[in-house]
Amino acid sequence: MPELPDLEVVRDILSPRIVGQAVRGVEVNRPDLLRTGEGSVSLLVRKELHAIGRRGKYLLFSFGPEAHLLVHLMRWGWLWHGPHGYTPTTATQLRLMFDDGSDLRLIEARSPYLAAAWVVPDPKTAEPLRGLGVEPLSAEFTPEVLRHLIAGKRRPLKRFLTDQSLIAGIGNAYADEILFRARLSPVRYTHTLTEDELDRLWHAIGEALRWAIREIRARVGDVLFDREVRDFLFVHGKKGDPCRECGTPIAEILFEDARTNYCPRCQGPRVAPPLRRG
């Protein structure tokens, strides 16, 4: 599933290609993809794309003040941009046709079909974005904000980092990378962190995400990719490989149905939650 770094790169690649283009038509091939109803796409027709933004794991295509297309690629979805004349495959779920003769297509080749899109007049009040937490690469996300988010919570760090209502955009893979960088175990509980560890976690969040954006961009160039580029990661998906810091084999646990990888040595022993007092 694409996470913040993947989506930032997609946004960066797509923006110079289609921002400024007007939509001449929209084709919806899987009506349930559009959560605002199939007819809602008419809002986009003859409008010019002003900007492509991102909020959490959503891409936000803004066609002026009253028309915004939100896209969540979920597990298997990806975006394709190319000539209109290129015959769409049966996996094409949504097709935006631009004035310059290019198409932006949302492709989802395998079921269950989970990708979703919304056409909304105001993204700020739109259902999927309303409950999202802070953007971890924004100036708003200070160490103080992290301290505030963690205060009073008793939950494993992996679950804390992937909770979209607290911090938006971090998923399974980058939570593992952040925790490796912070030298913290994914099963450490939030309320056991010292001030030093909190500080390390805050730095690791920004560093890991920025590093990933650079690494992905360096690998894909200007080519839109149809699967996540993850070869450069330190721990996620690296079960059994030697840790690049200490050589210990990377461990894997299934944590709340998600594959979680970590270095047992660099990230310390698994710390059980302390006994309740009183």
Assess 265 for contact with Zn ion (CB under 5 A).
Answer: yes
Which residues have a Cβ under 8 Å from the Cβ of 98 and sit 6 or more positions away?
18, 21, 22, 23, 24, 49, 104
Angle at alpha carbon of residue 179, lines to 175 and 184, rounded to 5°:
145
What type of residue sits at position 32? D
Assess 233 for contact with Zn ion (CB under 5 A).
Answer: no
Assess 250 for contact with Zn ion (CB under 5 A).
Answer: no
Q: Which residue has the tokens 């915004």?
A: 68
Q: How far is the CB of 248 from Zn ion (least distance, A)?
A: 5
Assess 268 for contact with Zn ion (CB under 5 A).
Answer: no
For residues 86 and 232, which CB has a smaller minimum distance to Zn ion in the complex? 232
Site size toward Zn ion, by CB under 5 A: 7
Phi-psi region of 20 (alpha: psi -120 to 50; beta: other; left: phi over 0): left
Q: Is 88 exposed, middle or buried (0-12, 13-18, 19+ CB in 10 A)?
A: middle
- The interface region with Zn ion, picked from 128-136, 215-223, 240-248, 252-260 by CB under 5 A, is 240-248
According to CB under 5 A, which one of 143, 245, 271, 272 is a site residue for Zn ion?
Answer: 245
According to CB under 5 A, which one of 4, 107, 161, 266 is a site residue for Zn ion?
Answer: 266
Assess 243 for contact with Zn ion (CB under 5 A).
Answer: yes
Q: How far is the CB of 183 from Zn ion (least distance, A)?
A: 9
Q: Residue 58: enclosing H or E segment and its boundaries?
A: strand 58-62
For residues 190 and 267, which CB has a smaller minimum distance to Zn ion in the complex? 267
- In total, the chain counts a number of residues equal to 278
What residue ranges bind Zn ion (CB under 5 A)? 243, 245-246, 248, 263, 265-266
